[in-house]
Amino acid sequence: MAEANTAPLLKASGVAKRFGPVAALRRADLVVHRGEVVCLAGENGSGKSTLARIVAGAMPPDEGAVELDGRPAAFGGPKDALAAGVCLVSQEPTLVPGLSVAENVLLPRLNRAARTVRRTALAAQAAPFLERAGLRVDPLRTAGALPPGERELVEVAKALAAEPRLLILDEVTTRLPDPERLFAVVDGLAAQGCGVIVITHRLREIRRSCDRATVLRDGSTVAELGRDELTDERLSSAMVGRDLGEYFHKRPVAAGEVRLRVDRLVTDRSPHPLSFDVRAGEIVGVAGLVGAGRSELLETVAGARRARGGGFAVDGERLNGATPRTARRAGVALVPEDRFGQALAGDHSIRDNLAVPWLRALRRTDRARDHDRAVRAVAGYRVRCHGVHVPVGTLSGGNAQKLVLARAIGHAPKVLLLDEPTRGVDIGARADIYELIGGLAEGGAAVVLASSDLLELLGLADRIIVLAEGRQAGELSRDEASEEAIALLALGGGRTDDAA
């Protein structure tokens, strides 16, 4: 017993895993001690999620050993891992959409305990975990009705309710407007002796929350960085193997013709009309907390939701009652937040997914052209894959996101609507994507960028519109914009520009 206590909480050594011809992990090592927060870092496709899933019992390794408290952890599945206190919050959703928020939060416990608990009692039990996760919703609401950001917080609450000894957070913060709140929870868990593995591409979050970092490259552990070594330079050169230099290249603020005019638009989330213009060559940022109405605004302009009032126009042509098809014809492209729900067909190949917007226009498919286009996109966006014939569902999260972008940008849109475009994308590819977005704007497109990554907004946007509870809380020029100014408006402070 004493021996077990001195062993690390988690020790994974020499872990290898193949998926057919793809070696997702070759030789991965990872150690986590009690009370430690360890970052698992690496480029898209380096094997982080695969290692996380093996540790959490979702699949066995082909080779290598996973030990918990010094004992072999041969879990038969995630339930076994959960029973041993290992809990994974993964990149892709696990909530049961038809169940209530409370039932989802308590699902792991419900399996163990009696199932006849009344709904109101469940709501009361779930409430403290929702509160800790920072989500204010009625616990009896149906989980499937929540927007993606709020669903992510339900996932966090569900993990907290499982009272983990080892918590794995795989790209969780990319959907959260206030990652600091989650990191405060992580600090609290670590102080109680819980081990935490954080997977994130945001270097600032690594520095903020982690005691050290284990870096994977091509499926093998290549570096261990201590707390003092968690600098942007050390992290990025360990992950990518090259120096990335400056991320954002400031473009002169463009003053072309108005390309997108949003005119007293009322969306599902914003009963208060929204009005703004985006000129050719401009990148306009949209900031706001979860539930502020960012995604609904973009989806309405892309024709994926019906406008409840007002309208919008592209190059002076009003698009009333737009459908995705009419919006696309008018030159509007959307990169949605929910990549698998709205953008990609997981069972279909990279080639077919990239071809989708052109299929209808061409009326017949040109396989050779689709193939060439896919090969070019995969090379240009550095998508890690084993050929363009593989199903996109087998790609790592960040690589799938690159495909959604490749498809939207490849369509040479007049208006590009980006909803969390770099969610889960690694730092190397992120630099490439920022350059592409900037290039598209310079070519005359009007770009609307909704992001919860404030550095991304501040680095790319010419001006920033801040939404708060479906209302246009204010607009900040490049000179006025700062993290503090955005946060103040997003929290409801500052002026209100109600365009009613």
Ligand X SMILES: Nc1ncnc2c1ncn2[C@@H]1O[C@H](COP(=O)(O)OP(=O)(O)OP(=O)(O)O)[C@@H](O)[C@H]1O
> What are the residues binding ligand X (CB under 6 A)?
19, 22, 24, 42, 44-50, 384, 394-399, 424, 426
With 0-12 CB in 10 A as exposed, 13-18 as middle and 19+ as buried, what is 315?
middle
Cβ closer to ligand X: 305 or 384?
A: 384
* Least gap, CB of 384 to ligand X (angstroms): 5
Q: How far is the CB of 25 from ligand X (least distance, A)?
A: 7
Minimum Å distance from CB 351 to ligand X?
A: 16
Give the residue among 126, 186, 115, 207 at the shortest CA–CA distance from 162: 126
Nearest distance in Å: CB 433, ligand X: 13
Query: What residue is closest to ligand X based on CB?
Result: 398
Q: What minimum distance in Å lies between the beta carbon of 49 and ligand X?
A: 3
Closer residue to ligand X, CB minimum distance, 57 or 293: 57
Q: Which is nearer to ligand X, 35 or 391 (CB)?
A: 391
User: Nearer Cβ to ligand X, position 49 or 353?
Assistant: 49
Shortest reach from residue 335's CB to ligand X, in Å: 16
Closest approach, Cβ 417 to ligand X, in A, equals: 23
Q: In terms of CB distance, is 310 or 346 closer to ligand X?
A: 346
Q: Which is nearer to ligand X, 187 or 218 (CB)?
A: 218
Q: Please say which residue, 397 or 470, places its beta carbon nearer to ligand X.
A: 397
